[in-house]
């Protein structure tokens, strides 16, 4: 176990990926079929997100420690193994079920459907799947698309489409997070553009992953502000 001490990351990590994901029919993204501009995963240079049951990461978001992000089991989708995370909660809202799949240097996040309750009006928001990291050379990119819909009782479905592009900006760097120095760090930037019939939003997020540790930091820039989260504790098995 590696015990650290100050600010935060994973609840924001998930929320950063869903800032633009408030509606649609999911289109599962298969890295082998939708490799993006960077092609396949190539030859992995290391394990940037160790996956094993009972691995967990604790982050702090805006100075507030979040519920530990723990791998609690595995599920199989289309013949592939995904590691299931424990539920996260923030401000009384519980996140959708989330899974991580990785193969050949491609890390894919799967988010399940979410039950909604807005002042007694209930609804459902469909999930999505996207590649959050590819172990590529600096400057290489990947891209993808997905759709979501949000349906409330008695209200027509709201459908939105998201396109995203990821870029590897740095690799093999050293980064100090909360007083702890991490080596062999990879930095990825993800640009997300989401549109519906009535709105449009853009979200940019920087992610840092340390080899054999996992996610250690994220900074998200959106219309609602800038959010930073860093790793404060983790347990690997």
Q: What number is the average pLDDT over the span 185-214?
A: 94
Task: Provide CB contacts within 8 A for 182, sequence distance 6+.
Answer: 174, 175, 176, 210, 213, 216
pLDDT in tens, 45-83: 889 999 999 999 999 887 888 888 999 999 999 999 999
More confident residue, 171 or 154: 171
pLDDT in tens, 120-167: 788 888 999 999 999 999 999 999 999 999 998 888 898 999 999 999
Question: Total domain count for the chain?
Answer: 1
Instruction: Assign 41 a pLDDT band (cuts: 50, 70, 90).
Output: low
Boundaries of domain holding 6:
2-235
CATH number where 113 lies: 2.40.360
What is the pLDDT, as a whole number, of residue 40? Answer: 57
What's the alpha-carbon Rg for the chain, to the nearest Å?
A: 17
């Amino acid at each position: 176990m590696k015990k650290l001490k100050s600010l935060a990351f994973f609840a924001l990590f998930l929320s950063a990926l869903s800032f633009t994901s408030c509606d649609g029919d999911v289109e599962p993204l298969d890295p082998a079929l939708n490799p993006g501009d960077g092609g396949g995963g190539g030859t992995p240079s290391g394990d940037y997100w160790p996956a094993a049951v009972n691995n967990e990461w604790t982050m702090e978001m805006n100075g507030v420690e979040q519920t530990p992000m723990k791998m609690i089991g595995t599920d199989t989708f289309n013949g592939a193994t995904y590691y299931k995370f424990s539920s996260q909660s923030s401000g009384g809202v519980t996140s959708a079920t989330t899974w991580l799949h990785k193969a050949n240097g491609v890390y894919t996040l799967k988010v399940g459907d979410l039950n909604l309750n807005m002042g007694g009006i209930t609804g459902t928001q469909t999930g999505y799947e996207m590649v959050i990291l590819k172990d590529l050379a600096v400057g290489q990119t990947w891209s993808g698309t997905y759709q979501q819909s949000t349906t409330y009782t008695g209200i027509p479905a709201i459908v939105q489409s998201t396109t995203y592009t990821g870029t590897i900006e740095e690799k093999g760097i050293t980064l100090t997070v909360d007083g702890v120095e991490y080596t062999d760090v990879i930095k990825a930037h993800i640009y997300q553009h989401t549109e519906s019939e009535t709105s449009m939003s853009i979200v940019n997020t920087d992610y840092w992953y340390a080899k054999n540790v996992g996610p250690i930091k994220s900074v998200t820039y959106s219309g609602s502000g800038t959010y930073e989260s860093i790793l404060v504790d983790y347990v690997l098995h």
